[in-house]
Amino acid sequence: MFNVYVFDLDGTLLDTLQDLANSVNYALRQHGMPEHSIDDIRRFVGNGVRLLMERAVPDGARNPQFEAAFATFRQHYMQHSLDTTRPYDGIPELIHELKARGCQMAVVSNKMMAATQELVRHFFPDIPVAIGEHEAAGIRKKPAPDTVFEALRQLGIIHHPSSIIHQTSDIVYVGDSDVDIETARNSGLPCISVLWGFRSRDFLLAHGATTFAERPADILR
């Protein structure tokens, strides 16, 4: 049992895939580009919304219409991020139990900061800290450890990244992807890889996963 839980958001706490796919395909339609299947979008997510759109748009950022399509996606997603998004079964109960046990919790995501904070406030008001992508503030997105360190700083767990080495037995990172495994490693933290998200067990094993949760209650053990 750990005292501090740092969670990824998409594919870990929330099933956001359909809303992401809807916004990607809306942007592609608006700019005359071919749409993608839900399985395509599943493969594209994990490295932030800009890379999501680079993977979805033909020729990526080299496409003359890329910036316009990206802007359309961002605007549409901010208006529709709650259309179908829901917590995975068992997640609300997990969060409630962790709070009851006196554990501290935070969310770190490569999703846009505004969307990350809105979703966490809406679904998980018991989680006080939510950090999204905002590199303009000098905080690099995952797999860099910056968002993890910032979340722990806001929780009052650490005052400087170097102090984390004395507390790794108390803190765990929970995510669903290879990016999350690398983020935990870069942060000096153990990682629990969940199996209900956007990546398979075999994929996670191939990327260095060592500890798995088949359902949210497993995280308590």
Segment 99-134, tens digit of pLDDT? 999 999 999 999 989 999 999 999 999 999 999 987
Instruction: Give the angle 16-171-188 at the CA atoms, nearest 5°.
Output: 90
What pLDDT score was predicted for residue 219? 96
| Whether residue 161 has pLDDT greater than 70 | no
What pLDDT score was predicted for residue 53? 97
pLDDT band, residue 75 (cuts 50/70/90): very high
Q: Is the peptide bond before 92 cis (omega within 30 degrees of 0)?
A: no
pLDDT band, residue 20 (cuts 50/70/90): very high
CB 76 within 8 A of CB 24: no
CB 1 within 8 A of CB 100: no
Give strand ranges (E) for the chain: 4-7, 14-15, 86-87, 104-112, 129-133, 171-175, 191-194, 212-213
What is d(CA 150, CA 66) in angstroms, rounded to the nearest whole number? Answer: 31
Amino acid at 25: N
Q: What percent of the chain has pLDDT over 70?
A: 94
| Whether residue 166 has pLDDT greater than 70 | no
Helix 17-30 × helix 49-56 angle, to 10° = 50
pLDDT band, residue 221 (cuts 50/70/90): confident
Mean pLDDT of 199-207: 96
